[in-house]
Structures are given as structure tokens and as C-alpha cells.
Amino acid sequence: MARQSPARPVNRAVSMQRAHLARELVETLLLVGLIFVIVHFTIQSFSVGDTSMGAALQPNQTVLINKQAYLFGGPGRGDVVVLTTDPSDPNSTFARRVVGLPGDTVSVSATSIIVNGVTLNEPFIKVPPGSAQNSTLRAPTKLGPNQYFVLADSRLGNDRFDSRGFGPVSRSNIIGRAVMVFWPLSQFHWIDTHSDDYSNIKTP
């Protein structure tokens, strides 16, 4: 009578295969968890609700925010940032363009924004001829440490919803930099900082 082959090698192979699959599953879950943490703390979306940013951002567009963009430095002139004036109120979150940096002196007249003695020339801002873009005027104001002066691209009628109305914003109120419009896909575009239009402003 022929002797049967021992089953131990087969059982060992099955055990090794199961251990390999378990290790791969754990590694996959750890990787997914790491990616989730990175995305959660780095990226956020913002839904545009009004026309205050003119051509840059339109209602019902969804914007990608880089929350770590200013980890090693603050916003630059022309950056479009998403900020909150009241962290407890979701309706107080806005997208605005930075025009004044810490240490800058900003003043607002009826027809212009003046930063460090230079009148802003922003070709992308559309103001009808003869219209006063600023109904809220501000005497020269020097920004303190970690303070920024932010404006809507659509200047008419939005004074109270930017720094002309609520004043300089603290760095701690800035959620992150608006990087691109990713929805709807047909309107996908990177958000222009128009940095050249602010390059003639000297840092004090």
C-alpha cells in the first residue's frame, strides 16, 4: 500500500500566503490613512457663492485651496486667499486678493487704492468710467505684523466685505491660497495672481 505524502508543506505554503496577504492589507491601509491625513491637512475645497471676485471666480465654481501654501512664509501681493472673519460662522468665509503686506501703508480714496505711496494699476479690475470704486475711504493705515489688506476684484458695492470695510485681516484668519478652479471641469483654470501688476510696489 502506497504511503500518502505529508500535508505539512502545503499547509505551510497556505499560511505563508495568508501572512503575505495580511501584510499587504495592513500596508495598504496605512498608506491610505497617510494619504488621507496629508490630503486633509493640505487640501480643502471652497464653493464660490457670489460675483465679488469678478472674472477670477464665478458663482457655483469649486476652488482648490492649498492650506499649507504659507507654511514657510506669508501670502504675496496678488495671491487669492480664502479667509474667514469669524471662524464660528461658515458664512463669513471669503475669497479675496492680497494687496497689502505686513509693514505696508495702505490708503483708500474714492477712485484708487494706494500702497506705500504707489497707486495700484490693476487692468483686470473693471470699473465703469466715472464711477467711484470705493465708497468706504481710509486714511493711510500701516499694517502690523501678520496683517494683510485684502480686496474683492469686483470693487463696486463690496466695500464692507473686504479690508475697506472690515479692515486688515490677521494671518491666523487666512485658511490658505486658492490655487485653481476644478469644477465644473469645463471651467477648469489656474487662478492668476497678476503678480506683475504689483511688482512696482516697494516693500518698506
Specify if 204 maps to a domain: no
* pLDDT tens, position by position, 183-192: 999 999 999 9
Ranges in the chain, pLDDT < 70: 1-10, 13-14, 20, 22, 24-25, 27-42, 90
pLDDT of residue 43: 75
DSSP percent split of the chain into helix, strand, coil, nearest 5: 25, 25, 45
Instruction: Say whether both 14 and 101 belong to one domain.
Output: no
Inter-residue contact 61 to 95 (CB < 8 Å): no
Question: How many Cβ atoms sit within 10 Å of the Cβ of residue 25?
Answer: 10
pLDDT of residue 37: 52
Instruction: Say whether both 25 and 108 belong to one domain.
Output: no
Instruction: Say whether both 34 and 55 belong to one domain.
Output: no
Q: Is 93 helix (H, G, I), strand (E, B) or coil?
A: strand
Instruction: Say whether both 38 and 71 belong to one domain.
Output: no
* pLDDT tens, position by position, 51-68: 899 889 999 999 999 998
Structural domain containing residue 73 = 48-198
Specify if 161 maps to a domain: yes
pLDDT of residue 199: 93
Total of domains in the chain: 2
Specify if 133 maps to a domain: yes
Global pTM value: 0.79
Inter-residue contact 169 to 94 (CB < 8 Å): no
pLDDT of residue 152: 93
pLDDT of residue 184: 92
Instruction: Say whether both 118 and 170 belong to one domain.
Output: yes
Look at residues 149, 13, 32 and name the one whose alpha carbon lies nearest to residue 81.
149
Instruction: Say whether both 95 and 118 belong to one domain.
Output: yes
CATH at 159? 2.10.109.10
Using CA atoms, how far apart are residues 96 and 152, in angstroms rounded to an integer?
A: 5
